[in-house]
Chain A
Amino acid sequence: MAAHDANLSLGRRMKAPAATRTRHLRKWGLPVETLVLGLTLALWIVMALTTSTFLTANNVVNILRQVSIDSIIAFGVLFPILIRGIDLSVGSVVALSGVVCASLLTAGVPIPLAIGLTLLLGVAIGSLNAFSVYRLGIPAFIITLAGLQAFRGGAFLVSDGTSVFGLPKALSTFARAEWLGIPSLFWSMLIIGLVLHFILSRTRTGRYMLAMGSNHESARRAGINIKRIVFFAYIISSVTACIAGMLLMSRMSIGSPTAGVAYELNAIAAAVVGGASLFGGRGSVLGTFIGALLFATIANAANLLGIDSFWQMVATGVLIAAVVYVDNLHKRRQSGVK
């Protein structure tokens, strides 16, 4: 019964009323997530056929590693976006959590405690963002932009401006480990993605986030605890950023204060290209993954083909604009606005 749940399954819009449905098929055919998935698959097929280096076990594992950390951050950022907010601080939180965790570890704190404390840092940052938005009434864009600066500064302060070396072996090898031929990072992403998908599509909390992003007033009148939802969304965002920060630390074997620069933009782009609306109320974990996969594929393909990374940035920007434009057209048609 997945299609019953608003905004969550790829096939959802095929359940539109008959009149709208035929109009869709004629005009655009498919929802934007499917379009992006098709684009990604097309890119994989073209690359597989035209190069001998793309569809190799090594390169695919490489893409999986790359998409994992990007996706985890994007999953988190999706939640503030769903409630019509935003979280620009996640890139800096990635760096801060990496150096904090690394510093704790090199100071001899046991691994589980260091991880636990870093996750608590995520809860604290998320609560601070939510408090500022909900109680102080500061726009999410502004407060998390402030966080982007402040937490980056915090990362440099904690690490004294340099990278933190000397992680325990168990941690520095974790990111390179594989299970059933699939990187541990990808497994981590899969577990986090499934949990968040479950929350979003099956629980009241998830439903209330969509409702609040869609129509704040109607959610309030329905007796929904808005405060709880706001805190939940921002805490998810910061905690997943902390998890991504620790995984990145493990992958690089250091805690680096310069890690995760501009990751927030990639994450937001992945969510939006994957069907999330920046005006709230719409978006999915699966779509966000597809968005992240498309960007990871483009980066990898450009690398293999020796295309200048500057062109890659331009292409990514154009893609974001195009996908959002197409989605807007689609949405306007759906609601009958000409």
Chain B
Amino acid sequence: MSLLEVRDLKKRFGAVEVLCGVDLTLEAGEVLAVVGDNGAGKSTLIKHISGVYRRDGGDISLGGEAVSFDSPKEARRAGIETVYQDLALADELSVGANIFLGREPTRRWLGLLPVIDRGRIQQETQRLIDSIESHIPDGATTVAGLSGGQRQAVAIARALYWDAKVVILDEPTAALAVMERENVIKLSRMLAAKGVGVIYIGHNLVEILEVADRIAVMYRGRIVHVTRSEETTQEELIKYMTGYSERRESAA
């Protein structure tokens, strides 16, 4: 049984059929890259898994059980965390406050009023930061002062801490310097090593070949090719991404 199974997923926006029957499986402990040209349907696909969109047809199951999320919050509760392209961090808040945002542990002040347990947040944040070796100096630092890679690490740490089953990384290295990309790749592998199923959306094929166990190629709303990353090359992936192989098959 796969961790996550998507069967025959369909979605149309008005007259445009964006997903025309997508099949996808994700195993626990693997990094599955989804690649494809702009408009191939990658974002639409992951937004169905993360609860942003409602599907027109098809099934999604998590851990063998059919699921249907009405909101990102529900998906999160079920164990699907999404690290968005724009990171969705609150700049003015500290690293710890961001990791715990919306799920702060509380304690009773004077045995009465519920207050945020800052000591615990601080402790847990520090432990988390140390465990991912991401060079974030201090959990009390505001996110505004961090580099792109450090911010990415905070977003991934958030997913890591909350024991996600599935983590979706949406173009996590799009805005990063080369050195920082390595760190994100390392963090993705770390997530997988902990048994998390990671869906990695990306453009850069060199990076994809390095980070992924398997690669799924999307073209015009379909998954046209799935391969193990050691069994493929950039050239082959590009053929599928541009629809070259499809055209050839239909010509034959």
Query: Any chain A CB within 8 A of the CB of B67?
Result: no
B47 CB → nearest A CB, Å: 12
Name A's interface SS: helix
Contact status B91-A281, CB under 8 Å: yes
Contact status B118-A224, CB under 8 Å: no
Contact status B122-A215, CB under 8 Å: no
Contact status B141-A16, CB under 8 Å: yes
Contact status A5-B118, CB under 8 Å: yes
Contact status A203-B115, CB under 8 Å: yes
Query: Any chain B CB within 8 A of the CB of A144?
Result: no
Contact status B116-A224, CB under 8 Å: no
**Residues 85-101 (chain B) with a chain A CB within 8 angstroms:** 86-94, 96-98, 101
Query: Any chain B CB within 8 A of the CB of A43?
Result: no
CA distance A223 to B78 in the complex (A): 14
B149 CB → nearest A CB, Å: 13
Q: Using a Cβ cutoff of 8 Å, how many contacts connect chains A and B?
A: 109
Contact with B along A265-283 (1 / 0, CB 8 A): 0000000000001000110
Cβ–Cβ < 8 Å partners of B94 in chain A: 4-6
A48 CB → nearest B CB, Å: 37
Query: Any chain A CB within 8 A of the CB of B38?
Result: no
Interface residue tally for chain B (C-beta within 8 Å): 39
Residues of B whose CB lies within 8 Å of any CB of A are 72-73, 76, 84, 86-94, 96-98, 101-104, 106, 109, 113-116, 118-119, 121-122, 137-142, 144-146
From the candidates B96, B103, B115, B144, name the one contacting A4 in the complex (CB within 8 A).
B96
Query: Any chain B CB within 8 A of the CB of A211?
Result: yes
Contact status B142-A6, CB under 8 Å: yes
Q: Which residue from chain A places its CB closest to the CB of B155 in the assembled complex?
A: A218
A/B interface sample: 5 pairs, CB < 8 A: A15-B141, A16-B142, A214-B92, A218-B88, A331-B144
Cβ–Cβ < 8 Å partners of B141 in chain A: 15-17
Contact status B102-A223, CB under 8 Å: yes
CA distance A334 to B143 in the complex (A): 10
Query: Any chain B CB within 8 A of the CB of A291?
Result: no
**Residues 219-267 (chain A) with a chain B CB within 8 angstroms:** 219, 221-224
Contact status B122-A207, CB under 8 Å: no
Cβ–Cβ < 8 Å partners of B145 in chain A: 16-17, 20, 334-336
Query: What 7 A-B pairs come out closest when comparing CB atoms?
Result: A222-B102, A281-B92, A214-B90, A214-B92, A218-B88, A202-B115, A223-B73
Query: Any chain B CB within 8 A of the CB of A98?
Result: no
Query: Any chain B CB within 8 A of the CB of A3?
Result: yes
From the candidates B86, B113, B122, B144, name the one contacting A335 in the complex (CB within 8 A).
B144
CA distance A15 to B96 in the complex (A): 13
Cβ–Cβ < 8 Å partners of B76 in chain A: 223
Residues of A whose CB lies within 8 Å of any CB of B are 1, 3-7, 15-18, 20, 202-204, 207-208, 210-211, 213-215, 217-219, 221-224, 277, 281-282, 331, 334-336
Contact status B92-A1, CB under 8 Å: no
Contact status B92-A6, CB under 8 Å: yes
Contact status A281-B90, CB under 8 Å: yes
CA distance A4 to B120 in the complex (A): 11
Contact status B116-A204, CB under 8 Å: yes
CA distance A211 to B73 in the complex (A): 17
Cβ–Cβ < 8 Å partners of A222 in chain B: 88, 101-103
Cβ–Cβ < 8 Å partners of B98 in chain A: 218
Q: Which residue from chain B places its CB closest to the CB of A280 in the assembled complex?
A: B92
Q: Which residue from chain B places its CB closest to the CB of A202 in the assembled complex?
A: B115
Contact status B92-A210, CB under 8 Å: yes
CA distance A211 to B72 in the complex (A): 18
Question: By CB atoms of chain A within 10 A, which of B97, B109, B141, B145 has the most?
Answer: B145
Contacts beyond the supplied A17-B146, A202-B116, A219-B102: 20 A-B pairs with Cβ under 8 Å: A4-B139, A16-B142, A16-B145, A17-B141, A17-B145, A203-B115, A204-B104, A213-B92, A214-B90, A214-B91, A217-B88, A218-B87, A221-B84, A223-B72, A223-B76, A223-B102, A277-B92, A281-B90, A334-B142, A335-B145
From the candidates B87, B93, B114, name the one contacting A6 in the complex (CB within 8 A).
B93
A140 CB → nearest B CB, Å: 19
Cβ–Cβ < 8 Å partners of A1 in chain B: 118-119, 122
Q: Which residue from chain B places its CB closest to the CB of A331 in the assembled complex?
A: B144
Cβ–Cβ < 8 Å partners of B96 in chain A: 4
CA distance A4 to B146 in the complex (A): 16
Contact status B144-A218, CB under 8 Å: no
Contact status A207-B104, CB under 8 Å: yes
| A4-B90 contact, Cβ under 8 Å, with A17-B141, A335-B144 | no
Q: Which residue from chain B places its CB closest to the CB of A1 in the assembled complex?
A: B118
From the candidates B101, B106, B114, name the one contacting A218 in the complex (CB within 8 A).
B101
Cβ–Cβ < 8 Å partners of A204 in chain B: 104, 106, 114, 116
From the candidates A202, A211, A223, A334, name the one contacting B144 in the complex (CB within 8 A).
A334
| A15-B138 contact, Cβ under 8 Å, with A203-B116, A204-B116 | yes
| A211-B90 contact, Cβ under 8 Å, with A4-B122, A222-B102, A224-B102 | yes
| A215-B102 contact, Cβ under 8 Å, with A4-B139, A5-B97 | no
